[in-house]
Amino acid sequence: MQTTLSIVKPDAVAKGYAEDICLRIEDSGLKIISKKQIKLSRDQAEGFYAEHKGKPFYEALINLMTSGPLLVQVLEGKEAISRYRKLMGDTNPKKASPGTLRHDFAESIDANAVHGSDCEESAIREVTYFFPNK
């Protein structure tokens, strides 16, 4: 069993896609074991994406992540990290395969609807970041 952190980003929440995205997650066999809707402060968003500080897209990323409410969730299942990454699709929605969350719900590489942890170490860090008692 593995856990991973999922975020429905503010662009997708604002468009009313959160519920559909949660249904897709559950249909894929992953279990949502924690869930909360929050709005990130600049400090929270910068702490979460510290690894990207200095990259050309960093400012746009922080602006998007603080632009409105988002949904953070902990997913559980066998191979949850890679299975959820596959369900999300390519970072760039234009390259994502049909049926993936980013193909179906995202509009651009900046506003790409969802986040998922990329390895076990980030999953632990990210779950603890939003759910310190987990």
Tracing tokens 């662009």 back to the chain, one arrives at 11
Asked if 91 interacts with ligand ATP (CB under 6 A), we say yes
Binders in 72-131 for Mg ion, by CB under 5 A: 118
Alpha-carbon distance 92 to 24, whole Å?
19
Burial class (CB in 10 A: 0-12, 13-18, 19+), 66: middle
The piece of 16-24, 66-74, 76-84, 106-114 that touches ligand ATP (CB under 6 A) is 106-114
Contact between 5 and 72 under an 8 Å Cβ cutoff? The reply is yes
Token duo for residue 30: 């992953």
Query: Min. distance of Cβ 9 from ligand ATP in angstroms?
Result: 7
Among 25, 115, 123, 126, which residue interacts with ligand ATP (rule: CB under 6 A)?
Answer: 115
Query: Min. distance of Cβ 118 from Mg ion in angstroms?
Result: 5
Alpha-carbon distance 32 to 13, whole Å?
17
List of residues contacting ligand ATP (CB under 6 A): 52, 57, 61, 91, 109-110, 112, 115-116, 118
List of residues contacting Mg ion (CB under 5 A): 118
